[in-house]
């Protein structure tokens, strides 16, 4: 295995590990039992998602490496990048809404947070699919 392969593999492993960590944050967000709790979990989500998205979009990061190997994914990667922006905007808006809301609004706010979690899970599932496809392609090339 070349050094390039090793660094690609450790980056791919890191992406998958971050996806698992984010799923855990989403699980906690879905099960908040009080407004303060939901606010804290949303804040945690915003920070983790921003860091994770920045890493994926960074020069030489996950998206660049996918495109270097499989330029046919350009349109999907462009859509995923756009989605990063809209997910972060919506999460931040919801976090502010939660901090100003009444405790009695909890059920509605949790439903909105659940919808956001669904969107992020779908987003990450698309990324995982692309990642696995590119990794398999790599193995198939058998150098």
| From candidates 29, 41, 65, 127, binder to Fe ion by CB under 5 A | 127
Q: Per the structure block, which two tokens stand in for 108?
A: 């509605």
Which residue, 12 or 124, has its beta carbon nearer to Fe ion? 124
User: In this chain, which stretch among 41-49, 69-77, 102-110, 127-135 interacts with Fe ion, using CB under 5 A?
Assistant: 127-135
Contacts of residue 137, Cβ cutoff 8 Å, sequence gap at least 6: 69, 70
Which residue, 95 or 124, has its beta carbon nearer to Fe ion? 124
Q: Rounded to 5 degrees, what are φ and ψ at 16?
A: -65, -40
User: Rounded to whole angstroms, how far apart are CA atoms 120 and 87?
Assistant: 7
User: In this chain, which stretch among 39-47, 83-91, 120-128, 132-140 interacts with Fe ion, using CB under 5 A?
Assistant: 120-128
User: Rounded to whole angstroms, how far apart are CA atoms 88 and 48?
Assistant: 10
Minimum CB separation from Fe ion for residue 94, in Å?
A: 19
Which residue, 41 or 84, has its beta carbon nearer to Fe ion? 84
Minimum CB separation from Fe ion for residue 55, in Å?
A: 8
Cβ 58 vs Cβ 85: under 8 Å:
no
Binding site for Fe ion (CB under 5 A): 124, 127
């Amino acid at each position: 295995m070349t050094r390039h392969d090793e660094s690609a593999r450790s980056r791919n492993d890191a992406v998958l590990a971050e996806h698992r960590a984010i799923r855990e944050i989403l699980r906690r967000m879905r099960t908040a039992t009080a407004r303060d709790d939901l606010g804290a979990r949303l804040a945690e989500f915003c920070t983790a998602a921003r860091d994770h998205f920045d890493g994926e979009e960074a020069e030489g990061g996950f998206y660049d490496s996918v495109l270097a190997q499989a330029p046919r994914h350009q349109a999907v990667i462009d859509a995923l990048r756009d989605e990063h922006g809209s997910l972060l905007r919506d999460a931040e808006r919801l976090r502010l809404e939660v901090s100003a809301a009444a405790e009695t609004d909890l059920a509605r706010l949790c439903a909105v947070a659940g919808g956001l979690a669904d969107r992020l899970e779908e987003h990450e599932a698309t990324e995982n699919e692309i990642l696995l496809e590119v990794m398999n392609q790599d193995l198939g090339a058998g150098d």
